[in-house]
Amino acid sequence: MPRPSPADAHLPLTPLDLSVLLVLAEGASYGYGIVKAVSERSRGALELAPGNVYQALDRLISRGWIEALGPGRLPEGAAPRRRYYAITPDGAGVAAAEARRLKDMMPSLERVLSLRTGEG
């Protein structure tokens, strides 16, 4: 069994926190851009309320997992009136640890699903 990483102490993540981190792992974005990206990636299955996303952004900033970008660090073509966020190395580590945790759970989940559908 692999040794736990320091990031493992923060697991499990909420679906909202993980969704935000996964979007920002692909590049900086702003609040409503994150809402749209999560909806698109989940094919509409996960619709986030903007107010919840902004609370999550504040929480993730306080944990040091994301940061708000200042004027000199905005992505190219960014609208200056928007507040952009980027994942930090610690945030990337926590997201990767959660992805590993979920991946490790897949065999058990597949067994449960096969029992429920009569395939197993």
Q: pTM for the full model?
A: 0.85
∠51-26-72 over CA atoms, to 5°? 80
d(CA 86, CA 90): 11
What pLDDT, on a 0 to 100 scale, did the predictor assign at position 1? 55
- Residue 113 has what pLDDT? 85
- pLDDT attached to residue 120: 55
Instruction: Name, in order, each residue with C-beta under 8 angstroms of 74's C-beta and a sequence gap of 6 or more.
Output: 28, 80, 84
* pLDDT tens digit sequence for 79-111: 888 999 999 999 999 999 999 999 999 999 888
- State residue 12's pLDDT score: 95
Tens digits of residue pLDDT in 31-74: 999 999 999 999 998 899 999 999 999 999 999 999 999 888 88
What local confidence, expressed as pLDDT, does residue 114 receive?
87
First to last CA, the chain: 27
Q: What angle do CA 105, 106, 111 make, to 5 degrees?
A: 105
Mean pLDDT (the chain) is: 91
Instruction: Indicate the length of the chain as a whole number.
Output: 120
CA dist., res. 85 & res. 77, Å (int): 15
How much is the pLDDT for 2?
61
Q: What is the per-residue pLDDT for 82?
A: 93
The answer to whether 87 and 21 are in contact (CB under 8 A) is yes
Tens digit of each residue's pLDDT (9 = 90 or more) over 6-25: 887 888 999 999 999 999 99
Pick the CATH number of 11-117 from 3.40.50.2300, 3.40.50.300, 1.10.10.10, 2.40.50.1020: 1.10.10.10
